[in-house]
């Protein structure tokens, strides 16, 4: 292993331990009355990932490997992960969860339009990447 790889691992390890310590500190700061709610939220994320998102990605991967040409497989795989993450993060905004009539400034941006623009950018990226990979294979 080269010196640069070792240095990189040490740096990322220090950053990771620092992030864990900061998260532990924030968890401690919220108080024990909220720990059960935090545990439910974290468990819900794991359950949603393992029971919903992972199987969907696996099924899409199997279908894509059979239907897509070889030059498009990697870009489409990246898009599924990026677009899926973008969509999961956007769900509370797209659904306007938490919006109230008493505070019209709470969700005052065009979130659906922004999500569509993000989707178009991701789709354009897969088209460009697939085109470039196809040209390189020829």
What does the pLDDT look like over 9-57, one tens digit per residue? 999 999 999 999 999 999 898 888 888 988 898 898 889 888 988 898 8
Q: How far apart are CA 49 and CA 55, in angstroms?
A: 9
| Mean pLDDT for the stretch of residues 63-82 | 88
Q: How far apart are CA 104 and CA 92, in angstroms?
A: 16
């Amino acid at each position: 292993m080269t010196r640069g790889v070792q240095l990189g691992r040490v740096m990322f390890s220090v950053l990771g331990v620092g992030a864990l310590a900061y998260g532990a500190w924030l968890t401690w700061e919220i108080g024990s009355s909220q720990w059960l709610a935090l545990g439910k939220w974290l468990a819900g994320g794991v359950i949603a990932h393992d029971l919903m998102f992972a199987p969907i990605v696996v099924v899409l991967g199997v279908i894509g490997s059979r239907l897509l040409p070889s030059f498009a497989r990697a870009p489409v795989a990246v898009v599924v992960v990026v677009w899926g993450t973008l969509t999961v993060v956007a769900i509370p905004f797209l659904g306007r969860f938490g919006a109230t009539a008493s505070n019209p400034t709470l969700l005052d941006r065009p979130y659906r339009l922004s999500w569509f623009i993000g989707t178009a950018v991701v789709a354009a990226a897969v088209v460009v990447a697939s085109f470039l990979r196809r040209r390189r294979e020829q």
